[in-house]
Amino acid sequence: MSASHEPTSHTFEANAREALANARLQKALGAASGRFVSHRASAVAERPDFEELRRCGHAIKQEALDRLPQLLEQFEEHVVARGGRVHWARDAEEANQHVIRIAKNENVKRIVKSKSMATEEIHLNHALEAAGFEVVETDLGEFIIQLDKDIPSHIIAPAVHLTKEQVSEIFERELRETNAPGAGIPGLNAIARRTLRKSFLSAEMGISGANFAAADSGSIVIVENEGNAGLCSTLPRIHVAVVGIEKLVPRFDDLAVMLKLLGRSATGQRLTSYTNFITGIAGDGEEGPEQFHVILLDNGRSKIYDDDHLWGSLRCIRCGACLNACPVYKRAGGHAYGWVYQGPIGAVITPQYLGLERAPALPYASSLCGACFEVCPVKIEIPHMLLELRSQVVEASTEASGAAPKRPFFESLSFGAFAFLGRRPKLWDFATRLGRWLLRARSSDGQIPALSLPLLNRWTARRDLRAPARETFREEWARRRGRADAEADA
């Protein structure tokens, strides 16, 4: 599959329907999210203090947001003191231009990249290629995606939508690896290792993102499992890190808490294989790049910062736990969300980056079950934020049409009927008894099998329901109160 880089968030419903009909995708998604969920659960269970850690994680990121302008300046001072440089980028265009300028000034031809959502967001690869540079993604998943000219479908497992057969096809087609089909997963890894080794050893520039940036030391932290981020930030003579301004934590020592949360939430690891703490340029006789550039990326973040309801979403550490927990993501997959951030957090932040009018369906891509909030290591109130966005969608359409939004006829009818009955207790009693009688007549073994009902079809056609209880709540209430009264009298 090859997806264009234009966001397709405005067609979420159609995208999701297409994904549901794709058997290969459903197979890949089903297997992956199950593993993610169980790995996370066992890693979290190991720490009886996990709730406490979540509270700390929340507090640290909240403090960072409260003091963000000051912390950013402090961060810059420390980077500079250690021989690095900081470049401020208001938007994607400015960020890309900074990187292109550095590369041109330094006569760079070949660039290796490690995984970074910020660079996905600004389409850095595209800009660099257009400017004539050779850019190679070195994270295995990103490498596959780059070869296939696709876009990632999960913030930490970009190629999770592909089966190994598909990866073999891609390697055979794009790398002329005739042995790829039948190589098995270890064989495919070996091909990637061999191909990318050449790039690592010849690149003049390495580009990375950052998971965290510590204001009081000017350090960035890159968390990874493959070793490619370590190589990207060590071998080439220039290291450029693209860092969203929300990555700051106030103190270097806060990283202890954040790292305990991140690995467990993301992949269920206590720590990932490599945690890289990068500070400044290499000293005398020390191995490492001669130049270290940090691009501090705003690109809409300060707009979110100003939103009273949604600014908490800037605490996100991009662990992906909410994706794996989400019943909608598990079936619709990441591409349905139409942009670089998927799942519940994608549904919250995509409308803010692209504008609500370009992603009006995303706030509705949730059953509001709250599973995302339950697992979020920094306690982002995603369901509340989705509700807030829904009300913004309604407000915007009210404003546009100058009238309150029109409900679908069946919806107004059912709410009208509900309101009518709700005000007439006798009638209500009668209607609930009638409903119970009808439903119990259809049920067997306490279940009402899925059935096709006009108008209610979207709900009933695919679900077995439980038969209604023998008594309505009001009947039970009356019975119990009657008994209590009798006991009191006695």
Partner 1 sequence: MRWDAQGVVYSLDPLVQELGVPEWLKGEGVPGQVLDGGEGERVWRAELAAAAAAQREPNVPWHMAVIGCAGAIAETGSIAHLTAPGHGRGGWLLCRAQVVLLTAEQIVSDLDGLFVGGGALDRNALPRAVTLVTGPSRTADIEQTLTIGVHGPGKFAAVVMG
236-265 positions binding ligand SF4, by CB under 6 A: 265
- Within 380-424, where are the H helices? 382-401, 409-422
Q: List the interface residues with partner 1, window 27-46 (CB under 8 A).
A: 28, 31-32, 35-36
Report the Cα–Cα distance between both ends of the chain, in Å, rounded.
76
Q: Is 253 in the site for partner 1 (CB under 8 A)?
A: yes
Task: Give the residue, chosen from 71, 376, 385, 393, that forms a contact with ligand SF4 under the rule CB under 6 A.
Answer: 376
Q: What angle do CA 246, 249, 252 make, to 5 degrees?
A: 150
C-alpha span between 266 and 324 (Å, rounded): 9
For ligand SF4, give the closer residue by CB, 203 or 322.
322
Contacting residues for 177 by C-beta, under 8 A, at least 6 apart: 171, 183, 191
Q: What angle do CA 457, 459, 460 make, to 5 degrees?
A: 65
For partner 1, give the closer residue by CB, 41 or 256.
256
Q: Is 190 in the site for partner 1 (CB under 8 A)?
A: yes
Task: Give the residue, chosen from 96, 116, 153, 233, that forms a contact with partner 1 under the rule CB under 8 A.
Answer: 233
Task: Give the residue, chosen from 130, 185, 427, 450, that forms a contact with partner 1 under the rule CB under 8 A.
Answer: 185
**Strand pairing partners for 113?**
137, 207
CB of 318 to ligand SF4, least distance (A): 5
Residue 404 main-chain phi, psi, to 5 deg: -60, 145
Q: List the interface residues with ligand SF4, window 335-374 (CB under 6 A).
A: 345
Q: Is 98 in the site for partner 1 (CB under 8 A)?
A: no
What is the sign of the dihedral through the CA atoms of 120, 125, 127 and 128? positive
Q: Is 235 in the site for partner 1 (CB under 8 A)?
A: yes
CB of 474 to partner 1, least distance (A): 50
Contact characters 299-338, partner 1, x per CB under 8 A: ----------------------------------------
Q: Which does 267 bind (CB under 5 to 8 A by kind): ligand SF4, partner 1, none?
A: partner 1
Q: Are 19 and 13 in contact (CB under 8 A)?
A: no
Task: Give the residue, chosen from 69, 132, 283, 482, that forms a contact with partner 1 under the rule CB under 8 A.
Answer: 283
Q: Which does 373 bind (CB under 5 to 8 A by kind): partner 1, ligand SF4, none?
A: none
CB of 200 to partner 1, least distance (A): 8
Residue whose structure tokens are 């070195």: 138
Which string of DSSP letters, residue by residue, matches 136-203? EE-SHHHHHHHHTT---SSSS-TTTT--HHHHHHHHHHHH--TT-TT-HHHHHHHHHHHHHHHHHHH-
